[in-house]
Amino acid sequence: MTVIGAGAVGAAVAYFLAREGWTDVQVLESGDPSSATTSQAAGFVGQARPTVERARLTMASAELFASFERQTGYTMDWRQVGAVRLALSPSAELELQQIADTAAITGLPVSFLTPRELQEVYPVLEDISTVRSALWSPTDGYLQPNSLVNAYLQAARDLGVTVSPHSPVTGIEVTDGSVTGVTTPHGHHRTELVVDAAGPWAGAVAQLVGIELPIIPVLHEYFVTETAPGWSSDLPCLRVPELQVYARGEVGRVLCGGFEHEGTSLDPTSVQLGSRLVPQPNWEVLGQFSANLERFVPGIGDLGVSSVFRGWPGFSPDGRFIVGPVGELRGFVMAAACNAHGVSGSAGLAMALVESLGKDPSPYVQSLSPDRFIPRTWDWEEARRTAQAVYENYYPMPGSPATAH
Ligand SMILES: Cc1cc2nc3c(=O)[nH]c(=O)nc-3n(C[C@H](O)[C@H](O)[C@H](O)COP(=O)(O)OP(=O)(O)OC[C@H]3O[C@@H](n4cnc5c(N)ncnc54)[C@H](O)[C@@H]3O)c2cc1C
């Protein structure tokens, strides 16, 4: 069994396969583990979601993050600081209520905060006069994505997995409709099962075996300011869906990002194996995130920026993971299209993948199958536009198509 890619997804998949008793698992990684999209992630793990499916998946992940060090000895630097979601309008209040209703079904503890409680929980928010409701999710938090990958991989190694950095897969061998091996510059490896966890390159890897999948890289970025009084790492994660902005404290600085209304995506057919995907910061977009946060924290826009994190997470046109075996090619399995929650969802996604390889996967796991896009009846440009719209509506309002799953 070969896992291609050692980002959050590949590392999680390798760990869960080994934990479930799969032997001979090897991970082949082009560069160093966690050197691509995962290294840029903010590490938010939000369990309060509008749909039961999404909420359960992230709850399973958060439970694992909280117990991983105890179980394996390796830390993911998980911080259970809680999260606050603000509503500024009646329709956004409805969304908060929908999330609270979902939480009641899934058993996630959430509560609405009074203005005084909000100020206690989030003292750096100086102006909360426009806030109509605040939903508090105390078991949410964030982790350090590089620690997450290292922890998964260390634990996987303890279970017998081998990890080979600087081993880009350049070819996949197929004999009589079945995968039989992979090629890297170091040689040929015999394998009957390949998991494509190559992040934004996952579509290009699938193309090696003639499979076309709509995995669309969409630009996402955030910035970290210079020192900002009060913004300790213990502050909860903050989300203001209407303004498409999020923030948290990062060692005495502000980490602030968001989901712009007009996103930027790549033509997926132009993504080559091994191409470097490092976007330039878009200062206009970052400035808008800052202006949105400034409504609650006057003066934040005057702070200098110490660093910008950015990348091209893979999106699918229906906003769902692409996970499981490809029906038309025995031994080729997908684990991609994380729709910008591949860190928080890594454990849930990997569990779904393991289940997809078993005898009787649940209807939910079956619904993630890559076969929903095979054979290609869809149009590349239409798929790009639709996947980009998933990004632009990342914080959906009740009843919008993106909440339908
Ligand atoms: C700015 C930013 C902030 C984000 N914040 C969050 C967040 O707060 N919470 C969250 O859950 N998600 C967040 N995300 C999304 C998250 O980063 C991704 O969903 C996640 O990292 C995807 O992991 P991955 O393993 O699929 O991809 P990657 O991390 O890109 O890993 C894919 C790996 O495959 C390797 N590879 C590619 N081709 C080959 C090949 N031919 N052979 C071998 N190896 C290959 C690459 O080198 C790479 O290491 C954020 C993303 C960005 C850009």
Q: Where do the domains of the chain lie?
A: 2-403
Distance in Å, CA 311 to ligand 1 centroid: 8
Between the CA of 296 and the centroid of ligand 1 the distance, in Å, is: 31
Q: What is the pLDDT of residue 395?
A: 79
Query: Burial code of 372-401, b = ≥16 C-beta within 10 A, e = fewer?
Result: ebbeeeeeeeebbebbbbbbbbbbbbeeee
Predicted local confidence at residue 404, as pLDDT: 30
Which is the closest atom of ligand 1 to the Cα of 310? 1
Q: What are phi and psi of 84, to 5 degrees?
A: -125, 135
Q: How many whole angstroms from 33 Cα to the centroid of ligand 1?
A: 10
Beta bridge partners of 163: 27
User: What residues pair up with 307 in beta bridges, in sequence order?
Assistant: 224
Q: In tens digits, what is the pLDDT along the chain, a chain of 405 residues?
A: 999 999 999 999 999 999 999 999 999 999 999 999 999 999 999 998 888 888 888 999 999 999 999 999 999 999 999 999 999 999 999 999 999 999 999 999 999 999 999 999 999 999 999 999 999 999 999 999 999 999 999 999 999 999 999 999 999 999 999 999 999 999 999 999 999 999 999 999 999 999 999 999 999 999 999 999 999 999 999 999 999 999 999 999 999 999 999 999 999 999 999 888 889 999 999 999 999 999 999 999 999 999 999 999 999 999 999 999 999 999 999 999 999 999 999 999 999 999 999 999 999 999 999 999 999 999 999 999 999 999 999 875 544 433 332
Kindly state if the Cβ of 203 falls inside 6 Å of ligand 1: no
Q: Closest ligand 1 atom, CA of 205?
A: 41
Ligand 1 centroid – CA 9 distance (Å): 7
Question: Omega into 375 within 30° of 0, i.e. cis?
Answer: yes
342 C-beta closer than 6 A to ligand 1: yes
Q: What is the pLDDT of residue 278?
A: 87
Q: Shortest CA distance to 74 belongs to which of 24, 12, 3?
A: 12
Q: Which atom of ligand 1 is nearest to the CA of 43?
A: 8
Burial class of 261 by CB neighbour count within 10 A (0 to 12, 13 to 18, 19+)? exposed
| Ligand 1 close to Cβ of residue 205 (< 6 A) | yes
Residue range 2-403, CATH number: 3.50.50.60
Ligand 1 atom 20: residue of nearest CA: 342
Distance 39 CA to ligand 1 centre (A): 7
Q: Closest Cα to atom 31, ligand 1: which residue? A: 7
Helices (H), 107-249: 115-121, 145-158, 202-207
C-beta 44 within 6 A of ligand 1: yes
Q: Is 46 in the pocket of ligand 1 (CB under 6 A)?
A: no
For ligand 1, atom 38, the nearest C-alpha belongs to 198
Structure confidence at residue 396 (pLDDT): 59
Q: Ligand 1 within 6 A of 220 CB?
A: yes
pTM: 0.96
Residue nearest to atom 51 of ligand 1 (CA): 41
pLDDT for the residue 124: 97
Residue with CA nearest ligand 1 atom 37: 198
Q: Strand, coil or helix: what is 250?
A: strand
pLDDT given at position 50: 80
Whose tokens are 């989030």? That residue is 122
User: Which of 201, 165, 160, 158 is closest to 28 using CA atoms?
Assistant: 165
pLDDT at 402: 37
